[in-house]
Structure 1
Amino acid sequence: MIRSLWTAATGMEAQQLNMDVIANNLANVNSSGFKKSRADFQDILYQTSKLAGATAAGGGEVPTGIQVGLGSKVAAVQKVFTTGDIRTTNNELDLAIEGEGFFQVTQPDGEVAYSRGGAMKMDSTGRLVTSEGLAIEPEVVIPAGATQISIGSDGIVEVLEDGSNTPTEVGTIELARFSNPAGLKSLGHNLYGETVSSGAPETGIPGENGMGAISQGYLEGSNVSIMEEMVNMIAGQRAYEINSKAIQTADEMLQMANGLIR
């Protein structure tokens, strides 16, 4: 009877973590380029009272055996890298990636991080940077006299300078992709870091060799579906409730057993 108390407790703990994941998804429903997470569950250890295939009385074989599970746990929390909705902003520094790939940015420690958030800005020196002030890699600098910025689907950045009618190329935005993007480490601030599981980044020109194309004047929204998350929340809440009910029932049965000696 005590075993059922601990088994149900593992279910409650797993559903609590599941609810934490869902809450984070909902909190970032309006975060540009955010990718939702999903909790994956699995059963844990089993206690074996009788082995399947063991020799039974009379020389036969036990067909099924007896195994009792000891609960569940969260095996992984996986990032889901489906593309979010693309929305129009008409801002010439807003960029969306249509397909695979990540923008590359340089962190303060010099390490390169990766992002799907394309809300770019210009700093005081004209560099293209993220909302956190991190410069994109390779660096692109917009001249001070630029009156119009054009970013092609292939990442080529051109500007029209004051007094000129001929566009001038000032740089190219390159993208990176990974063989296993779900293995990337979430760093916060819409950034991801390379890990052994993600594999090494493959960089290239947007629109070539499987890389996504860049769309200027658009932003990629989060891929969180409020309806889906609400359904998952209700299912998780009911699972939590039924596990708590199992603990309550096991406690009542123990109470009945204790009452037999009265």
Structure 2
Amino acid sequence: MLRALRTAALGMSAQQTSVDNTANNLANANTTGFKRATVVFQDLLYQSVQRGGEGDQRPAAMQLGSGSAIVATQRTFLQGSLMQTGNSLDLAVNGEGFLQARRPDGSVVYTRDGAFTLDADGRIVTQSGLALEPDLEVPPETQEIQISSDGVVRVRLQNEPDALEIGRIEVAQFSNPAGLRSIGANLYEQTEASGEPQIGPPAEGGAGLLQQGFLETSNVDVVQEMVDLITAQRAYEMNSKMITTSEEMLQIANSMKR
């Protein structure tokens, strides 16, 4: 009965973490480029009370488990829907790959959020002020910005009939994007689990195309999240009931002496 109490308590803790993860997914249902996370459950250590195949040649062993725990949260990098905005600096990667941004310390981070803007110096930056990598600077007399599907950036200057190429946007791909570390602000960091980034132009090496004037929406399915929430809630209730039942059994055992 004491084992059941501990096992049920661990089950409640695991389901609470699952609910926390679902809450975060739902909170980011409208976050540009957000990728939903799923929890990975794992059963814990088992105690072998009686081994199989010993003594009277029992065909099966007697093992008692000690509960479950969540060992990881895994990002699902399915493509979100593309929403047209009409903003010339909004970009969506239609396919695999991440846009790159450079932090003040020189390190590069990765994102699926292509809501870019211009800073005071005319550089293309993220909404949090990080410069697009590779760095691109738009001349102050620019009348129009054109970004092709393969990442070539051209600007049309005032009183100039032809567009001027100012650079090219590259995308990063990872062998295991689920291994990237989320750091907030729609950004990811490279880890050993993700592997080294493969940098190249869009549409090459399996990378997706760029869509100017579009943003990728969150891939959170609200209906699926509600189903997961109900499932976790019911499992939490059953583990709570198990604790109540174990407590009642302990009370019965304690009262036998009276």
What is the identity, as a one-letter code, of the residue corresponding to 2:226? M
What SS does the corresponding residue of 1:8 show, helix, strand or coil? helix
Q: How big is each residue's C-alpha offset from its partner over 1:203-227, in whole Å with a ceiling of 9 and x where there is no partner?
A: 0000111011000010000100100
Which runs of no fewer than 5 residues in structure 2 stay unpaired?
none
2:28 counterpart of 1:28: yes
What SS does the corresponding residue of 2:73 show, helix, strand or coil? strand
Partner of 1:88: 84
What SS does the corresponding residue of 1:64 show, helix, strand or coil? coil
2:124 counterpart of 1:128: yes
Distance 2:225 2:32 in 1: 18
TM-score w.r.t. the length of structure 1 is: 0.97
Partner of 2:44: 44
What is the identity, as a one-letter code, of the residue corresponding to 1:179? S
What SS does the corresponding residue of 2:131 show, helix, strand or coil? coil
Partner of 1:188: 184
What SS does the corresponding residue of 2:79 show, helix, strand or coil? coil
Partner of 1:4: 4
What SS does the corresponding residue of 2:143 show, helix, strand or coil? strand
Q: How big is each residue's C-alpha offset from its partner over 1:51-74, in whole Å with a ceiling of 9 and x where there is no partner?
A: 011131xxxx11001101110000
Distance 2:62 2:33 in 1: 49
Q: How big is each residue's C-alpha offset from its partner over 1:142-175, in whole Å with a ceiling of 9 and x where there is no partner?
A: 1111101100000000011000110100110000
Q: 2:147 aligns with which of 136, 145, 151?
A: 151
Following TM superposition, where does structure 1 have runs of at least 4 consecutive aligned residues deviating by more than 3 angstroms? none
Percent identity between matched residues is 50
What is the identity, as a one-letter code, of the residue corresponding to 2:149? S
What is the identity, as a one-letter code, of the residue corresponding to 2:34? F
Q: How far off is 1:2 after superposition?
A: 0.5
Q: How does 1:35-184 map onto structure 2 within 5 Å? A: 35-56=35-56, 61-184=57-180
Partner of 1:14: 14
What is the identity, as a one-letter code, of the residue corresponding to 1:34? F
Distance 1:54 1:39 in 2: 38
What is the identity, as a one-letter code, of the residue corresponding to 2:160? S
Distance 1:109 1:22 in 2: 33
Which runs of no fewer than 5 residues in structure 1 stay unpaired?
none
Distance 1:162 1:249 in 2: 78
| Root-mean-square deviation over aligned CA pairs | 0.6
Q: How far off is 1:119 after superposition?
A: 0.3
Q: 2:220 aligns with which of 215, 224, 248?
A: 224
What is the identity, as a one-letter code, of the residue corresponding to 1:35? K
Q: How far off is 1:47 after superposition?
A: 1.0
Distance 1:240 1:107 in 2: 42
What is the identity, as a one-letter code, of the residue corresponding to 1:202? Q
